[in-house]
Structure 1
Amino acid sequence: MFGFLKADPAKKLRKTYDQKSTEAMLAQRKGDIKTYSMLTAEAEELWKEIQQLKAVDK
Structure 2
Amino acid sequence: MFSFLKRDPARKLKKRHSMLLEQAMRAQRNGDIRTYSKLTAEAEELFVHIKKLSASDSQ
Partner Cα separation in structure 2 for residue 9 and residue 42 of structure 1? 18
4+ runs of 1 displaced by more than 6 Å?
none
- How far residue 2 of structure 1 moved from its aligned partner, in angstroms, is 2.2
Q: Confirm or deny that 1:11 pairs with 2:15.
A: no
Partner Cα separation in structure 2 for residue 57 and residue 7 of structure 1? 13
- How far residue 48 of structure 1 moved from its aligned partner, in angstroms, is 0.3
CA-based RMSD: 0.8
- How far residue 54 of structure 1 moved from its aligned partner, in angstroms, is 0.8
In the TM superposition, what are the counterparts of 1:1-58 in structure 2 within 5 Å?
1-58=1-58
For normalisation by structure 2, the TM-score amounts to 0.91
Q: Where does the alignment leave 5 or more consecutive residues of structure 2 unmatched?
A: none
For normalisation by structure 1, the TM-score amounts to 0.93
Partner Cα separation in structure 2 for residue 37 and residue 10 of structure 1? 24
Letter in 2 for 1:13: L
Alignment length (residue pairs):
58
Per-residue CA deviations over 1:2-43 (Å, capped at 9, x if unaligned) read: 221121011111000000000000000000001001100110
